[in-house]
Structure 1
Amino acid sequence: MPIDLFAGIPVNDYASALDWYERLFGSPPTFVASDTEAVWELAEHRSVAIEHLPEHAGHAMHTIFVDDFDTLISQIAGRGLEPAKRETYENGVRKATYRDPDGNEIGFGGAPR
């Protein structure tokens, strides 16, 4: 069964969030759905969107698993963002959690070294 994912992230200040997520993802949005919503397609049929919804801002929690964890975290650091939290679980899986200006959490997970 094919699976599509569209994860939404409510933000308070759309312009500020747009800049922050462009640095996090390393590119402008794949498309701008409206004056208050931007979408990044991270992989085929798997997208993340920010939307100006101040009454809900700060409550998103998403984790994205990647093949090359170390390279991605290094690239994000090169764009001026550092994780708010780093974890290594008992099974060796690593996670770096970033918090946008509203406090939404975007984590990247990677397999053990």
Structure 2
Amino acid sequence: MALDMYAGIPVTDHATALGWYQRLLGSPSYVASDTEAVWELGEHRSIFIELRPEQAGHAMHTIIVDDLDELVAQIAERGLDAIERETYSNGVRKAIYRDPDESEIQFGGAPL
């Protein structure tokens, strides 16, 4: 079975959110409209922001990456720092970011 993922994040201010997500994820893969931007994270896996003020602030997404430290360093170079970092008893780690609307984006990685 083929599987695609297109995960959305509602935002209250598209311009502010676009700037923040560019610092988090880099340049969008494409801008679908003046109220929606899309980042392709991998083949058939995308995340998007869309102007939907009444729903903003409730998204929670976790993205698992091969090299968490490298990604966190790249994000820091673009001007964002994780608000929190955690390590679970099994060694799995995560870095947590919150957008201007308080939606939470987490990046997780395997133990070192």
What is the correspondence of 1:28-43 to structure 2 with a 5 Å cutoff?
A: 28-43=27-42
Structure-2 separation of matches of 1:45 and 1:110: 20
TM-score normalized by the length of structure 1: 0.96
Q: Deviations over 1:38-68 (max 9, x none)?
A: 1000101000000000001100000000001
Q: CA deviation at 1:2?
A: 2.0
Paired residue secondary structure (2:76): helix
Gaps of 5+ in 2: none
Offset, 1:3: 1.4
C-alpha distance after superposition, 1:6-41 (max 9, x if no partner):
000000010000011011012x21111111011000
The answer as to 2:57 corresponding to 1:20 is: no
Q: State the TM-score, normalizing by the size of structure 2.
A: 0.97
Please give the per-residue CA displacement for 1:46-99, whole angstroms capped at 9, x wherever unaligned.
000000000011000000000011100011111110111111111110000100
Structure 1 distance, partners of 2:89, 2:2, is: 31
Distance (Å, rounded) in 2 between the aligned partners of 1:88 and 1:2: 32
Partner residue of 2:87?
88
Q: Runs (4+) of structure 1 moved beyond 3 Å? A: none
Percent of residue pairs bearing the same amino acid type: 69
User: Which consecutive unaligned segments of at least 5 residues does structure 1 have?
Assistant: none
Matched residues, number: 112
Equivalent positions of 1:1-113 (< 5 A) are 1-26=1-26, 28-113=27-112
Tell me, what secondary structure is at the counterpart of 1:22? helix
